Structure 1
Amino acid sequence: MIYPLTGLSIRANQMSSGQSDIMLSSQPQMALDGVRNQIRSIPLENIAALAKSAFNNKEIIPLWFGEGDVTTPEFIGRAIYDAMLAGNTFYSHQNGIPEFRQIMADYLTGLNAAPVEMARITVTSGGMPAIMLAVQLTVNAGDNVIIIDPVWPNITGIVQMVGGQTRSVRMDLTDDGWILDVEKVAAACDGRTKAIFFASPGNPTGAVLSVEVQKQLLDLGRKTGIWIISDEVYCRMSFDQIVVPSFLDISEPEDRVLIVNSFSKSWSMTGSRLGWIVHPPSLEATMALMVQYTTSGTTTYLQYGGMAAIREGEEFVKFMTGYCRKGMEIVCDALDEIPRVTLRRRPTAAMYAFFEIDGMEDSKQACLDILESSKVGLAPGYFFGKGSEKFLRLCFCRSPEQLQVAMERLKAALR
């Protein structure tokens, strides 16, 4: 018998006589010592850890998370509530309620250039589980994933959790914004590369991959058998078009392409944890099996909220995009007045400003100093990949009044 927390062991062959030999190990064993190396090696430091000490401080203007201050619209909340009262509280279909999947397929068919059939849609408990499913589907221990950065840091942890490795390919910052050189992506691939991950529009940059670049990535994937994982969560938050270019426009149904999306941003449903993944139709049963072994299915009544969001939410999507655009203008106008700040080009999508500070070497310490002096919470650039140590990320999905106060404070802090 082993007691791992204390290192205490008892020889079982002597238990029958009522006697035992007790041996104490020289070092107490901690529970953490028994955790897989892949989990233990993931840094505990993240944006949430930075913000934890200030969660309940009402003086702070929190611009560090990818979350706005607009609550979920009433018609979505009502649909969820009504679904609960109607008894839709039992297990659901593992790919999602068929009616919901068909609504999603019709929505994507109308939004993009190519039709999408229901067999390609699996509903997930948010965008994060969709990404986790995509990585679990494609990556074995020891394989690697090419990650296009600057990028939201959670993808790195997900790859590590399954025993994979990450390889960073950084976008180039030019006067025209962030540009991806696909030749650099190809050069980073080898025989153990199983997937290429990127977000378009990007978090934290707001960068949108052009159709030409997407076609180059798709061609690379087809030639090598490498999967493309496209995070399109911000696809409707474009300031100059209804929707940004999608891999759904250029790929065939059975291409090795996985597209993840979420209701969190455009429908302001971050707390509801509802998303979806578009996959080849031949994987429909496989995805159902994977959902069975992870969540057993997305919360049933929340899916009725998703149906309402698609059926009735187009005006709200337009509102959210306009809300973010107004926030972007307030923030970028103020950043232009700060001599130490460099913002090569204003973002054309998403909800973030990602800007460089002259003379700043440690973005974490800078965020702590700004938090202390101005009561504004920002995210340090180093979370988003190597080369971003002099950058800060600011979420501008907030009320104009709050952003104006925050920017006046930042002007003073960064003068």
Structure 2
Amino acid sequence: MAYVRTMFAPTPRQEVQDLRLSRIREIANAGLGRSDILPFWFGEGDQATPAFIREAASKALLEGQTFYTHNLGRPDLRQSLSDYLTRLHGVPIGTERLAITSAGVNAIMLAAQLVLSPGDRTVVVGPIWPNVVEIPRILSSHVEVVPLEAAQGRWRLDIDRLMRALTPDTRALILNSPNNPSGWMLPEEDRAAILERCRRYGIWLIGDDVYERLTFERPTAPSFLPMATDDDRVISTNSFSKAWRMTGWRLGWMVVPPALLEGLGVLIEYNTSCAPDFVQEGAKAALDHGDAITADVRRDLTAARDQVIGTLSVMPGVEAPTPDGGFYAFFRMAGHGDSMATCKSLIQEVGLGLAPGSAFGPEGEGWFRWCFAARPEKNAAGLERLATYLAR
């Protein structure tokens, strides 16, 4: 029988075709292979994971801990996580609410799979890390972004505008606080109103809490966990990446209502089955013995924020709101409204690698993200290159 060519080309489904390409990765690719580039485009520091965490995982690997573990994570790691979260938030958070995931972004995807169906409406506060917007879209959810505003040297959320967006037909609200890229942090006094609105309309409140320990004026960011009951539709997603310098380990966690845990275990089975055993050993060491590391990270980031924001703020034509948390400066420069074109120009002319604001949605266009989780001398050299660029 002769082969008959069909008229249908092999393409992914439309939701996948519609995904935004990562503009951060596009800029990084433009600088790959150049040893003269100072990169500040990715969201990670320039120091390796602390030795005691690496040693714990290495020992487990050498001892042969290479087999499957429980879908929800090793029981001893979940207990350590329960102890840590209970200390952090001042309320009991038991293992019946906890799951270990294969990265923080995997936790966000699992949360979306748990609660979103095609056609559901999701509200997101932005500008925002693109994964937070694209994950609901992969699942055919409609996404509306409520924009942050820069005012009086800080990033602010118009709480009334958010409330108007939280309508009875809203299925989920996703809040990232402290926020990537802006460093905005949800004010403590706004939590009750948001939670009450979500309760009234049955809206799922999903927190992307990966930066909750990276704060400057307080030990941790305001959280909904101390306010939530077992019956509340509140999910917290988090990661080991930032607070313990473990970005490449790809391990995260979720806090969910107890009634969701069994279904979450099934979802994990059909996504990744489980996280690697020896990686979980490193995470347990981080939780059990890593408080000093987190304190060091916060101290270093506070100094880096003051260095970078302080210098940017006195550059002519530069607006650099002060972040409340995270490790990013999100700033804009007069006359540079096209962030992609400017980022490419910065690479070519002075060897400086920044992330374009448009990577974080239309709300970020005209802005630039600088990851200042770097050693002081690297930040200083980058600031000199930016000053040279602007002087031209």
TM class by smaller structure: over 0.9
User: Given the alignment, which residue of 307, 315, 331 partners 1:355?
Assistant: 331
Q: CA deviation at 1:375?
A: 0.7
Partner Cα distance (1:401, 1:176) in 2: 26
Match of 1:193 among 167, 170, 178: 170
Aligned to 1:321: 298
**Aligned residue for 2:283?**
306
Deviation of the 1:22 alpha carbon = 4.4
**Match among 176, 191, 206 for residue 214 of structure 1:** 191
Secondary structure (helix, strand or coil) at the match of 2:20 reads coil
Superposed CA deviations along residues 295-316 of structure 1, whole A, max 9, x for unmatched, are: 0011111111010001111111
User: What does 1:13-412 correspond to in 2, within 5 Å?
Assistant: 20-25=1-6, 29-32=8-11, 35-175=12-152, 177-343=154-320, 345-412=321-388
Q: Distance in 2 between matches of 1:52 and 1:281?
A: 43
Secondary structure of the corresponding residue to residue 359 of structure 2: helix
Separation (CA, whole Å) in 2 of partners of 1:239 and 1:324:
8
In the alignment, structure 1 residue 413 sits paired with structure 2 residue 392: no
Instruction: Tell me the alpha carbon deviations over residues 328-365 of structure 1, each in whole angstroms, 9 at most, x when there is no partner.
Output: 1221122122111012x321311000012112221110
State, as a whole percentage, how many aligned pairs show the same letter.
36
Range that drifts further, 187-196 or 40-49: 187-196
Structure 1: 4+ residue segments shifted above 6 A = none
Equivalent pair of 2:214/2:325 in contact (CA under 8 Å):
yes
CA distance in 2, matches of 1:38, 1:348: 35
CA offsets, 1:111-150, max 9 Å, x none? Answer: 1132101111100011000000011111101112101012
Is this contact kept in 1: 2:206–2:236, CA < 8 A? yes
1:354 alignment partner AA? F
Displacement of 1:230: 0.7
1:186 deviates by 2.8
Structure 1 residue 21: Cα displacement: 4.6
Once the two structures are superposed, residues 70-117 of structure 1 have per-residue CA deviations (whole angstroms, 9 ceiling, x without a partner) of 101110011101111222211101111011101101110011132101
| 1:14 alignment partner in structure 2 | none
Based on CA coordinates, which of the two structures has the bigger radius of gyration? Answer: 1
Deviation at 1:50, TM superposition (A): 1.9
Which range moves more in the overlay, 389-398 or 80-89?
Answer: 80-89
Residue 182 of structure 1 and its aligned partner are, at CA, apart by: 2.8
Deviations 1:29-69 (A, max 9, x none): 5432xx11100111224211221132332211110110110
Cα 1:253/1:414, change in 2 over 3 Å: farther
Contact 2:38–2:353 (Cα < 8 Å) also in 1: yes
Is the Cα contact below 8 Å between 1:63 and 1:396 reproduced in 2?
A: yes
For 2:140 and 2:106, the matched residues in 1 are separated by: 17
Q: Any conservation in 1 of the 2:153–2:322 contact (CA below 8 Å)?
A: no
Structure 2 distance, partners of 1:162, 1:63, is 31
Give the TM-score of the pair, scaled to structure 1: 0.91
**Higher-RCO chain (CA-CA 8 Å, sequence separation at least 6):** 2
Distance (Å, rounded) in 1 between the aligned partners of 2:2 and 2:64 = 58
Q: Is the 8 A contact 2:23 2:358 kept in 1?
A: no
Unaligned runs of 5+ in 1: 1-19
The residue identity in structure 1 corresponding to 2:10 is A
> Matches of 1:283 and 1:379 in 2, distance apart?
37
State the aligned residue count: 391
Mean Cα deviation higher: 261-270 or 247-256: 247-256
